């Protein structure tokens, strides 16, 4: 299977819109593809999606020509390999802490996909204090296509409050973003509407939207158009 345009866009540093499907919602995939989304973000970490449901969504995304990316609930190879076996176009790997975690993920893609490994997209999450401390070593590992900064989890680990935007948290995010941009590495963040211009100014090109944010924004505009309070 050849690369989706979205995968090549990410590698080229162009803007990519990934939409979290918010659960087992195969019927939203075709409209998302028709409306300009680049990737289906199949979230098996923060939703109740199991392997069978993820497989259904992967197949629906392929049918709609929308690149299916799976975020696993675990970074362990025996978990990740099952999504690749079911033809996910790539993985988003959480809980990264050390350079060995990244090497393990890269090796897993090579093991599971063989000659087709180059057609898979691997994104690792920078969402822990350990990952920030080990960033230089993490960046030394070839085979990673992008990095997803997790500001909410990082804030929780730093302050005990998920989503906190203290000066220390924001400086840490900016420092990581600047290092990734300096190295010309594709990276992204959850693209909250209010923070979107700031994230783009940091150089983020992988923009991650939960489906509910899109619905909320559309309904806000609709209510305004209808002059509803």
The CATH number of the domain where 26 resides is what?
A: 3.20.20.60
Instruction: Quote the mean pLDDT of the chain.
Output: 94
Query: What is the DSSP pairing of strand 39-43 with strand 67-71?
Result: parallel
Length of the chain: 229
What pLDDT does residue 2 have? Answer: 80
Question: Does the structure show a pLDDT above 70 at 1?
Answer: no
- Specify the number of domains making up the chain: 1
Binned at pLDDT 50, 70 and 90, residue 221 comes out as very high
The H or E element containing residue 224 is helix 211-225
- What is the percent of the chain with per-residue pLDDT over 90, rounded to a whole number? 85
CA–CA distance, 47 with 72 (Å, rounded to integer): 10
pLDDT, tens only, 21-43: 989 999 999 999 999 999 999 99
The residues facing 146 across adjacent strands are 123
Question: Does the structure show a pLDDT above 80 at 4?
Answer: yes
CB-based contacts of 198: which residues, under 8 Å, 6+ apart? none
Q: Could you list the residue range(s) of the whole structural domain that residue 33 is in?
A: 5-225
Binned at pLDDT 50, 70 and 90, residue 193 comes out as confident
């Amino acid at each position: 299977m050849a690369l989706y345009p979205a995968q090549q866009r990410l590698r080229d540093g162009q803007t990519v819109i990934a939409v979290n499907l918010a659960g087992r919602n195969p019927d939203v995939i075709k409209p998302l593809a028709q409306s300009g989304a680049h990737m289906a973000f199949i979230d098996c970490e923060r939703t109740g999606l199991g392997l069978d449901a993820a497989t259904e969504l992967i197949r629906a995304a392929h049918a709609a020509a929308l690149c299916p990316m799976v975020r696993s609930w675990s970074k362990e190879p025996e978990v990740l390999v099952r999504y690749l076996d079911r033809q996910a176009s790539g993985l988003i790997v959480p809980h990264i802490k050390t350079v060995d975690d990244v090497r393990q993920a890269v090796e897993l893609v090579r093991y599971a996909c063989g000659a087709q490994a180059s057609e898979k997209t691997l994104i690792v999450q920078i969402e822990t204090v350990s990952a920030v401390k080990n960033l230089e070593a993490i960046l030394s590992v070839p085979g990673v296509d992008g990095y997803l900064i997790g500001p909410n989890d990082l804030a929780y680990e730093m302050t005990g409050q998920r989503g906190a935007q203290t000066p220390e948290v924001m400086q840490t995010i900016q420092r990581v973003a600047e290092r990734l941009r300096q190295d010309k590495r594709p990276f992204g963040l959850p693209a909250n509407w209010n923070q979107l211009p700031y994230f783009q100014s940091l150089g983020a090109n992988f923009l991650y939207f939960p489906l509910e944010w899109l619905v909320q924004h559309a309904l806000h505009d609709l209510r305004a158009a209808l002059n509803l309070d």
